[in-house]
Structure 1
Amino acid sequence: MRGITDTVKHLIIINALFFVATSLYGDQMYQWFSLWFPKNENFGLWQILSHMFMHGGFMHILFNMYALFAFGSPLERMWGRNKFLFFYFSAGIGAALIHTGVNYYYFNEGMQVLMDSGMAKGQIMEIVSNGRYSPDWYNLASKNTIDNFLSAYSTPAVGASGAIYGVLVAFGMSYPNSELFLMFIPVPVKAKYFIPVLIGLDLFSGVTGYSIFGDGIAHFAHVGGALFGFIMMWYWKKNQFNNKRWN
């Protein structure tokens, strides 16, 4: 395996510094730099970028940074620094937009149910903005609808996973026959098979709410990063993108 490239190394260092700072100033860091729902008072536009450097725990950052090293370095060697950075951050921003769009759907769905029951919008917002809810709400709609409504408003998104999924797609399209050795699969699997299956599992989990990887995962952010990564790769390939413009 060839060594780590400069840009990937610097991204990993920045992520590590954010992780250390979060360990020291957890609540404040999460409040400032996580990606909150736009109607939440903690939301700031900078969070569309800053959330990509935040992580929820050691295993979270470990897996993301290993994937960035393993799959990002070959892409940086192929593309160069500027094109890689453009791709990486575009995929991450795309993931944030898809994640936020899905949260808007969940939030509006729950809000409409509660308003149809006779509650005023301002009353509902006052309750959820204080981190509260009424158990009676679960009598008005399915548990999934209310849970998604509350989570959309009050649960921030963190992690580089959206950008990483874009990188995975780019790697799979650039090196489709590369064999990946995975600790939970005893035989090597070609990238062109493994990566679509991984994305498919995230899409399944996002739609059904059932996750084989555990709770608290922003599945639609993963799918969004993969989608934006695919769109960029498709566009660049179709238009025979001129690499000199990135120098």
Structure 2
Amino acid sequence: MFNFDITPAVRNLLLANLFFFLIQQYAPVLPLTQWGSLYPLGSPYFYPWQFVTYMFLHANWGHIFGNMIWLIIYGPMLEHRWGVQRFIVFWLICGVGAGAIYEGVKFYETNQMEQAAAAFHRQPTGGDFAEFFRTNFPEARGYETLARGLQQHPQDAEYIDAATQAVDGVVQEVKNSPMAGMLGASGALFGVMLAFAYLFPNTEIYRFPLPFPIKAKYLVAFSIAVELYTGTHRTPGDNVAHYAHLGGALVGFIVIKLWERGRQQFY
């Protein structure tokens, strides 16, 4: 087991995240969440600075508490190894990289959705309508009734028009909704977790609700495997940015391997 203390860089990251979170919660006249969350490319709410700002914002107290606890657990030993400056640089690279990968995946998913919508416009059927919603908006309810109606009356103009409007509404909601922003330090944190497991693989960590410690290499590998599974098997209501988490871990691994080329500086 290891002992940790709150090192300078970790402390400053904690304070920065808490500061901006308090503004989000208690200064509603400043639309910080909308300005700073990372919106999909092409959204009217997207701005380039969001690749940095999103990682300092959080949705609620549980969100920030969970992320900051893991920062306290994983961060100090890395900061002791690397120093303040390198740790901060690593955190920011992982966070920006996680956001970039998230945007890439989101752009691909949106493009696939738009192609499916265009195909539906060309040949609207009840089966394709239901499949569109199952694939792109699984948490929606009530579309099954319209899908059955369109399937039973494939030439009915009212059914076709209603289904087309519903499909177009989903596309617009995904692309242009003010609620579509991604936020949180988890992407950067997954990079830190990966680095910790790489450099201190046999360090034992307690993970609630397990009553016994687990070696970091197993715990982080399991966490990444869970993110990969949940990211590729989305369930209704799942609004977690799994690919941002995976992106942070991937970018963290790449940075570590690059830094290893200058082994004296890395260690």
* TM-score where L is the length of structure 2: 0.78
1:84 paired to 2:84: no
Cα RMSD (Å): 2.3
Quote the residue 1:217 is aligned against: 240
Q: Which moved more, 1:136-145 or 1:227-236?
A: 136-145
Residue 186 of structure 1 and its aligned partner are, at CA, apart by: 1.6
Deviations, residues 159-195 of structure 1 (Å, cap 9, x unaligned): 0000000000000011000001112112111001110
**Contiguous gaps of at least 5 residues in structure 2:** 139-170
Is 1:203 paired with 2:228?
A: yes
Confirm whether residue 97 of structure 1 aligns to residue 75 of structure 2: no
Matched, 1:35 2:38: yes
- Size of the aligned set, in residue pairs, is 226
Report what 1:13 is aligned to: 15
Aligned to 1:107: 110
Q: 1:156 to 1:138 in 2, by over 3 A?
A: farther
Instruction: Report the residue type matching 1:115 in the other structure.
Output: A
Displacement over 3 Å in runs of 4+: 148-154
Offset at 1:215? 2.6
**Is there any run of 5+ residues in structure 1 with no aligned partner, and where?**
120-135
Q: Which amino acid aligns with 1:44?
A: Y
Alignment partner, residue 159 of structure 1: 184
1:43-96: per-residue Cα shift (whole Å, max 9, x none)?
A: 110100000000011111001111111111111111011111111011001110
Distance 1:47 1:16 in 2: 18
2:4 corresponding residue in structure 1: 2
Aligned-partner Cα distance in 2 for 1:37–1:100: 6
Q: Determine the structure 2 residue equivalent to 1:139.
A: 129
Distance 1:137 1:17 in 2: 49
Structure 1 residue 170 and structure 2 residue 172: aligned? no
CA contact (8 A) 1:34 1:50 kept: yes
Give the TM-score taking structure 1 as reference length.
Answer: 0.84
